[in-house]
Amino acid sequence: MTKIVYNACYGGFSLSREAVLKAREISGNPDWGGACIKGDVYHSGEPVPYDYGHCDDISRTDSILVQVVEELGSGKASGDCARLAITEVQAGDYYRIDEYDGYESVMTRDDYDWERA
């Protein structure tokens, strides 16, 4: 089974400052998640003005991300307007994250009715 992190409320996927710092500590990568908390620097050289936790470059199946959410729990790992959750799909199976107003659902091929052309 493969674990997938998603946002289970309206608002949008984001990580708390604590979650980003813990992920950087675990991974040993000070740039894990990219420029997403205050003190980081954008590629343009501008400093990040506040913690917004949108780590767009991280795969939702990233083992560090999953570990952080499991260890901190949803309450501490979730950023503003987020409630992170974990679901599992069969390893090697296809999935996608559908989103409406920031509320995400993890969907697999079995969740859709397919018609043959």
pLDDT tens, residue order, the chain (117 aa): 999 999 999 999 999 999 999 999 999 999 999 999 999 998 899 999 988 888 878 999 999 999 999 999 999 999 999 999 999 998 788 999 999 999 999 999 888 888 888
CA angle 18/99/107 to nearest 5° reads 100
What are the distances in angstroms from CA 96 to CA 52, 53, 63, 68, 88? 24, 21, 17, 21, 12
Closest residue by Cα to residue 8 from 92, 113, 98? 98
Q: What is the pLDDT of residue 57?
A: 81
Q: How far is CA 62 from the centre of its chain?
A: 9
Q: What is the pLDDT of residue 74?
A: 96
pTM across the whole model? 0.90
Q: Which two tokens stand for residue 2?
A: 């493969």
Q: What is the pLDDT of residue 14?
A: 95
Phi then psi dihedrals of residue 15, to 5 deg: -110, 150
